[in-house]
Amino acid sequence: SKELLKLEHLSIDYRVKDGYLSAVNDVSCTINKGEIFAIVGESGCGKSTVAHSIMNLLPGGNEEITGKIIFKGKDLRTCSEKQMEAIRGKEIGMIFQNPLDSLNPVYTVGSQVSEAIMLDKVDKREAWNRVVNLFRDVKMPDADERVNSFPHELSGGMRQRVMIAMMLSRNPELLIADEPTTALDVTIEAQILDIMKGLKEKYNTAIMLITHNFGLVAEIADRIGVMYAGEMVESGDVFEIFENPVHPYTRLLMQALPRKTKAEIRLQTIDGSVPRITEKKPGCRFANRCPYALEKCFQEDPPVVNIQGDHFCRCYLAGKDEKK
């Protein structure tokens, strides 16, 4: 099967003081082997929550999860913490926005990557040789010397290269990258994206890229899922969606894209804000911002409509011609 990860009707609710917060509602999508699938949406739309739930890394205690997280045919939600520990890093790698949170300040970056390699029962000398090669793979400037640097001696971009090298050292089939370039300037961001594309080509690593940057998605993704207020409102092939966006929210995002440059756009440029969903009210979550909202949009949940192929859209108008 070409399917690597499949989310089926994933919902995540947090119990809070005034009831609960519906952080993720009925998200379904598939990531195929070796592809880059980008989940794009404003901050607070639930995209990081989805990523953390896959790794079973939610804070724990006050969330209720329903649905399935199927990785290579197995529902990760049925795995014990011990089984998850074996999967994290080895089968699914993860990198975050701020590498300093994941690096230990008192050890050199080379020794930290070599520790990761030795988890797979590789001896010290062999591990060290691999570290230098990995640092070259991620195009670390002066790789031979940088292995001996401490995290604080490196720039943000170099630290993110270390994280990618550390992740790569265990050769996972899936990399989850949560806003990996958000803290970096545009030039460095482009370099990191190039490295990620290279990984996909050289190691056939599938990447789930979580981002609020729609322009970046156009550069790198094979397929995308657009999230709004905890729901995936549209998903499919990146060219198909850029050519034929169906959901009114996706269309608004497209209009905000600068035509001449693919430079970063921030989704916050759209008026209004993502609602905080604290009661299970039926109706479309985008209705209060939607220029096409109908009476029933406020009353009943819109259906998920198959546009064509693997292109899906959650909207009453999907598949109809009236808004075109």
Residue 56 contact partner, candidates ligand SF4, Mg ion, none, CB within 5 to 8 A by sort of partner:
none
Phi, then psi, of 288 in degrees rounded to 5: -70, -15
Residue 70 contact partner, candidates ligand SF4, Mg ion, none, CB within 5 to 8 A by sort of partner:
none
Nearer to ligand SF4, 135 or 214 (CB): 214
Residue numbers at the binding site for ligand SF4 (CB under 6 A) = 247-248, 284, 286-287, 290, 292-294, 297, 302, 315-317
Residue 270 contact partner, candidates ligand SF4, Mg ion, none, CB within 5 to 8 A by sort of partner:
none
Q: What minimum distance in Å lies between the beta carbon of 232 and ligand SF4? A: 13
Give the CB-nearest residue to Mg ion: 48
Residue 220 contact partner, candidates ligand SF4, Mg ion, none, CB within 5 to 8 A by sort of partner:
none
**Structure token digits, residue 263:** 């430079």
Nearer to ligand SF4, 6 or 289 (CB): 289
Strand partners, 22: 13
**Structure token digits, residue 304:** 């998920």
Q: Is 48 in the site for Mg ion (CB under 5 A)?
A: yes
Q: What minimum distance in Å lies between the beta carbon of 293 and ligand SF4? A: 4
Residue 48 contact partner, candidates ligand SF4, Mg ion, none, CB within 5 to 8 A by sort of partner:
Mg ion
Q: What minimum distance in Å lies between the beta carbon of 94 and Mg ion? A: 13
Burial class of 315 by CB neighbour count within 10 A (0 to 12, 13 to 18, 19+): buried
Residue 315 contact partner, candidates Mg ion, ligand SF4, none, CB within 5 to 8 A by sort of partner:
ligand SF4
Residues near Mg ion (CB under 5 A), total:
1
Judged by DSSP in three states, 160 sits in helix
Residue 228 contact partner, candidates ligand SF4, Mg ion, none, CB within 5 to 8 A by sort of partner:
none
**Structure token digits, residue 60:** 């724990």
Distance, in Å, from the CA atom of 272 to the CA atom of 220, rounded to the nearest integer, reads 28
Alpha-helix runs per DSSP H in 75-213:
81-87, 109-118, 124-137, 143-146, 156-168, 186-203
Residue 171 · residue 197 · CB < 8 Å: no
Nearer to Mg ion, 213 or 250 (CB): 213
Nearer to ligand SF4, 182 or 244 (CB): 244
Nearer to ligand SF4, 71 or 316 (CB): 316
Distance, in Å, from the CA atom of 26 to the CA atom of 115, rounded to the nearest integer, reads 39
Nearer to ligand SF4, 146 or 314 (CB): 314
Judged by DSSP in three states, 298 sits in helix
Nearer to ligand SF4, 109 or 318 (CB): 318
String of DSSP letters for 35-96: -EEEEE--TTSSHHHHHHHHTT-S--SSEEEEEEEEETTEEGGGS-HHHHHHHBTTTEEEE-
Angle at 268 between CA 264 and CA 64, to 5 degrees: 110
Nearer to ligand SF4, 258 or 282 (CB): 282
Burial class of 115 by CB neighbour count within 10 A (0 to 12, 13 to 18, 19+): middle
Q: What minimum distance in Å lies between the beta carbon of 229 and Mg ion? A: 14
String of DSSP letters for 239-290: HHHHHS--SHHHHHHHHHS-SS------GGGSSS------S---S-TTGGG-
Q: Is 235 in the site for Mg ion (CB under 5 A)?
A: no
Q: Is 181 in the site for Mg ion (CB under 5 A)?
A: no
Residues lying near Mg ion in the complex (CB under 5 A) are found at 48
